[in-house]
Structure 1
Amino acid sequence: MSNKRSTFKVPNTLIILLFGALIMALVVPWVPAGYFEKGMPISLDSYRVAEHNISIAVFGTGKEIGFLNAPFEGMTSGSRSGSAIGVIAFILLVGGAFGVINATGAVDRGLLRLIAITGHHPRLLLGSLFAAFATGGAVFGMGEETIAFLALLLPLILHLGYPPEVGVMITYVASQIGFGTSWMNPFGVALAQGIANVPLLSGAPLRIVMFLVFVSTGIVFTLWYAQRHRTAADLGEDGKIVIPVDAPPLALADRVILLGIVATIVWIVWGVVTAGYFIPEIATQFFTLCVFSAIVAILSKRLTADAAAESFVAGAQQLMSAVLVISLAKGIEYLLGGANPHAPSVLNTFLHSMGTMLETWPAQMAAQGMLAVQTMFTFVIHSGSAQAAINMPLMSGLSDLVGVTRQTAVLAYQLGNAMANMSVPTGAILMASLGVAGVPWTRWFGIIWRFQLLILAMSMAMVAIAVAIGYS
């Protein structure tokens, strides 16, 4: 009998997508293609079956559809204002911008300063950190970065007498709540809206309210759990808690860069709401922030010009996997015949079939079904950008058929992906965070499942509200 322990590792997202593309290439020629008649609203009644099925070659030339052509065709599809070309350029520029911002060290020093200010008031410290990481998740999709911050904060958490899982709550869990309720995250809601052809960063007021409600709920749960499981804290000779973190005062450069980040957020919100800014303008706003931060860092001798450029490239490189995921996901759409509702495609056939199944369902139930699908999909695909690229073409089209707004479909994607990521054992970032904290997943699930159910119920309520008000 073998003593080797059998372990299952979820394949890389690109492998899953490539396998999915292969399945589509084999199945599509056997499925009738369809289209929705021009000049009529997209509905079940306007659907027509095409005269010919879609044929797929291994290697296509000219106008032929080819399996091996999928990555290139996916990457070059769309326009500068949408998926895939525009979105790919957008996330590369934003990734590079945050690469430079992170290299300046201003964000790190800001968090350390926050710890120094609030450390003698543990509940204020935990709540402030939770809010800070939630904001990071909402503004620029903070995820993997929380692992490093957790390692930094864990000694402090233990020093204050709290169990290590509290550190996971205030970093990783907070970032996921921020991601799922974001009104401006370029790698989540903005990407999904671009794919769904919804105005970029539209619907922000409801999402901001949702962010405040969900984050407040997360803080309350974290403080409740932390207080119930707190042991004696380490005190100094004066009876005050000793903060074992070196937190020098913020330098002028730190303050200027952090102020620049806040100003850019305000500028983006103003531009989208008042001036009609879209992907090209918002990408340029982030690049402007990048140039501003680089100049401040260079003048303060924190970075050289070469180091700033290298940081930009490194930041963009970190998102190359997202670029390839988007390309392959759009490549699958290409193999299905494209997303044009008025051109023959198997995607239209799938939409018609799902719409026929759901046509007797009330819009409320159909929207909750979308939320359930997105939640279950998170067990396989954890990346928010990957899930948006894969699911949104289908979900946005399906929403048109069942009487749910595309904005609501985007909301269901956000909530389903991020909230499930707090507990699924296949999530790499969650498992890495638990590894840093030394908390087994079984123990973690025993802690978080009640909060997970509460957040799921709140997500269902938000989707129901969106349907009721015709969220757009």
Structure 2
Amino acid sequence: MVKAASKWEMPDTLLLIFFIGLIAAVLTYVIPSGSFQTDTIKYMVDGAEKSRTVIDPDSFTYALTEAGDKIFGSVKLFDASGGLGLMNFPFQGLVSGSAVSVIVFMLLIGGAFGIVTQTGSIDRGIHRLIERTQGNERLFIPILFFFFSLGGAVFGMGEEAIAFALIIAPMMVRMGYDAITTVMVTYVATQVGFATSWMNPFSVVIAQGLAGVPVMSGSTFRIIMWAGFTLVGIGFTYLYARSIKNNPKASRSYLSDAYFRDGDHDKAAETQWSLGDTLVLLTIAATMVWVIWGVLMHGWYLSEIASQFFAMGFVVGLIGVVYRLNGMTANDAASAFKEGASMMMAPALLVGFAKGVLLLLGGGMDTPNTLNTILHGFGSVLSGFPGWLSAWLMYVFQSCFNFFVTSGSGQAALTMPLMAPLADISGVTRQVAVLTFQLGDGFTNLIVPTSASLMATLGVCRVDWRDWAKFVWKFVLLLFVISSVIVISAHIGGFA
């Protein structure tokens, strides 16, 4: 018998990232290394003077050998001295400062919510919530999307969505939706707000400061833009969620959703509600409020937030043991923490590998690398086009550049000092240049596998990036088209 040819399937996400790393390594042999000199500039945020190191756009120079030749091929197959090579990039990515922070954050909140899951309180709460909503559960989608989008717009919410997704995913699946809907109303909503913000201190405020534009200027335009994109996101998510409600098996995450749909959830839901369950949910709610307050008032980031969730897991564990929730013992709580953390290992590896890809292309603004040369090359090309086309190409470039630098503040520091003077040369206002940055920086975060926050959110929701990409590309394309119209219209209208 002749064996039928197997159907082609998309490579695993880890293989895709490694392949991207291979391409990045090859680029270092095709594109020479270059560097910019840096300056320290000052700008105002909320009446306080801030400073930041940025590139001098006129200072670009190629790295040269003693003979005066350009330097290529900075990435070798393997660097035995502990440096960066193709076979070194996974390790270097995993141990780099920013990646380590995200990975530890994922492990700690995974462990904390492993204890929460072990108590069964979430499942019993979801069961009662579904009973009491009596078909009105569809209201959760626009409400959640709105508030997460507002969080992204006001204080740059992004990584924080990971913890919320852990709670919301089982609720969405048990209501007849899927984990993809959870990613939409949490992480995607934050990035819609992030991209269209009028006051985000981590993106638009920094970009305006670097571009020499008054901080928070153009707010009316951006608030209207935020409201419009949020409505588009709510509409897209609602229509999708309704289609999954009618046909759950049409979901690309249907198989992986079995984790939230099956198991001991029904058994937990049938158990009588107790004071311990109330205390568990109050602890979770108090932690969420406490974390949001800390982010807004004190600028907490991953370290502080992870510590609060670890404390939450500890308190929930004590409650579970005292009230014998699901028969929990102290050893059960410890095992639940380890199991919850272990579930984060796969997405944590993806985060580290993705960071390694970025390291292959360059490590810093003032260090000779391929990324600086790419940035300089685009700037040189851009100056020769008419204004409206230059504005649109700025948006395209920022969208593509976000693949390599997903940090909003990092991308602003690298690109805005170059984009601002290029905007002057091309007849584009600096306010429009800032607009192209924030739209390009935010929306591509929805699909690029180099985004640690995206990969972590997909990980906790058990959605494979390949399935996610097959789903979300239409939404990303829709946002790209609308953003292109807005950027060109803003240029024609003289947005300043």
TM-score past 0.5 threshold: yes
**Structure 1 match to 2:366:** 342
The aligned amino acid for 1:127 is L
**Structure 2 match to 1:20:** 20
The aligned amino acid for 2:338 is V
**Structure-1 separation of matches of 2:14 and 2:245:** 43
**Structure 2 match to 1:379:** none
5+ long unaligned stretches in structure 2: 41-53, 66-70, 149-157, 208-215, 217-221, 248-265, 421-432, 456-461
In structure 2, which of residues 440, 443, 447 is the aligned counterpart of residue 412 of structure 1? 443
Tell me, yes or no, if the aligned pair for 1:370 and 1:395 is still in contact at 8 Å.
Answer: no
**Structure 1 match to 2:418:** 401
Task: Give runs of aligned pairs for residues 87-98 of structure 1, distance below 5 A.
Answer: 87-98=102-113
Change (3 A) 1:44 1:324: same
**Structure-2 separation of matches of 1:195 and 1:349:** 23
Change (3 A) 1:179 1:299: same
Change (3 A) 1:194 1:5: farther
Q: Give a deviation string over 1:174-224, Cα, whole Å, max 9, x none.
A: 531322112899xxx9xxx9999989xxx9x97997897467536764798
Cα deviation, residue 288, structure 1? 1.5
Change (3 A) 1:66 1:416: closer
Q: Per the alignment, in what secondary structure is the counterpart of residue 401 of structure 1?
A: helix
The aligned amino acid for 2:96 is S
Cα deviation, residue 86, structure 1? 2.2
In structure 1, which of residues 341, 347, 365 is the aligned counterpart of residue 392 of structure 2? 365
**Structure-2 separation of matches of 1:344 and 1:180:** 35
**Structure-1 separation of matches of 2:488 and 2:289:** 29
TM-score by length of 1: 0.64
Tell me, yes or no, if the aligned pair for 1:100 and 1:312 is still in contact at 8 Å.
Answer: yes
Task: Give runs of aligned pairs for residues 34-49 of structure 1, distance below 5 A.
Answer: 34-39=34-39, 41-42=54-55, 44-49=57-62
The yes-or-no answer on 1:217 pairing with 2:229 is: no
Tell me, yes or no, if the aligned pair for 1:143 and 1:429 is still in contact at 8 Å.
Answer: no
**Structure 2 match to 1:70:** 89
- Structure 1 stretch displaced more, 136-145 or 275-284: 136-145
The aligned amino acid for 1:99 is G
Tell me, yes or no, if the aligned pair for 2:93 and 2:355 is still in contact at 8 Å.
Answer: yes
Change (3 A) 1:333 1:31: same
The aligned amino acid for 1:318 is M
Cα deviation, residue 28, structure 1? 1.4
**Structure-2 separation of matches of 1:297 and 1:135:** 30
**Structure-1 separation of matches of 2:337 and 2:203:** 25
The yes-or-no answer on 1:298 pairing with 2:321 is: yes
Identity %: 26
Tell me, yes or no, if the aligned pair for 2:94 and 2:352 is still in contact at 8 Å.
Answer: yes
**Structure 2 match to 1:159:** none
Q: Per the alignment, in what secondary structure is the counterpart of residue 68 of structure 1?
A: coil
> Between Structure 1 and Structure 2, how many residues are aligned?
394
Cα deviation, residue 21, structure 1? 2.4
**Structure 2 match to 1:86:** 101
**Structure 2 match to 1:378:** none
In structure 1, which of residues 108, 114, 128 is the aligned counterpart of residue 129 of structure 2? 114
Task: Give runs of aligned pairs for residues 301-340 of structure 1, distance below 5 A.
Answer: 301-302=324-325, 303-336=328-361, 338-340=362-364
Q: Per the alignment, in what secondary structure is the counterpart of residue 35 of structure 2?
A: strand
In structure 1, which of residues 179, 198, 215 is the aligned counterpart of residue 187 of structure 2? 179
The yes-or-no answer on 1:354 pairing with 2:381 is: no
- Structure 1 stretch displaced more, 246-255 or 301-310: 246-255
- The alignment yields a C-alpha RMSD, in angstroms, of 5.2
Cα deviation, residue 3, structure 1? 7.3
**Structure 2 match to 1:236:** none
Change (3 A) 1:55 1:367: closer
The aligned amino acid for 1:93 is L
**Structure-1 separation of matches of 2:108 and 2:236:** 32
**Structure-1 separation of matches of 2:226 and 2:273:** 29
Cα deviation, residue 270, structure 1? 1.6
Q: Give a deviation string over 1:124-173, Cα, whole Å, max 9, x none.
A: 1332477569989973367799886676445xxxxxxxxxxxx45xx633
TM-score by length of 2: 0.62
Cα deviation, residue 33, structure 1? 0.4
Cα deviation, residue 342, structure 1? 0.4
**Structure 1 match to 2:50:** none
Tell me, yes or no, if the aligned pair for 1:58 and 1:68 is still in contact at 8 Å.
Answer: yes
Change (3 A) 1:459 1:90: farther
**Structure-1 separation of matches of 2:490 and 2:441:** 11
Q: Give a deviation string over 1:92-112, Cα, whole Å, max 9, x none.
A: 222222222222222222221
5+ long unaligned stretches in structure 1: 155-166, 230-243, 375-386, 422-426, 434-440
**Structure 1 match to 2:7:** 7
**Structure 2 match to 1:164:** none
**Structure 2 match to 1:285:** 308
The yes-or-no answer on 1:127 pairing with 2:150 is: no
Q: Give a deviation string over 1:365-391, Cα, whole Å, max 9, x none.
A: 3564268659xxxxxxxxxxxx97875
Change (3 A) 1:413 1:321: same
**Structure-2 separation of matches of 1:351 and 1:460:** 21
Cα deviation, residue 324, structure 1? 1.8
Task: Give runs of aligned pairs for residues 453-472 of structure 1, distance below 5 A.
Answer: none
Tell me, yes or no, if the aligned pair for 1:329 and 1:390 is still in contact at 8 Å.
Answer: no
Tell me, yes or no, if the aligned pair for 1:76 and 1:84 is still in contact at 8 Å.
Answer: yes
Tell me, yes or no, if the aligned pair for 2:108 and 2:306 is still in contact at 8 Å.
Answer: yes
**Structure-2 separation of matches of 1:18 and 1:430:** 14
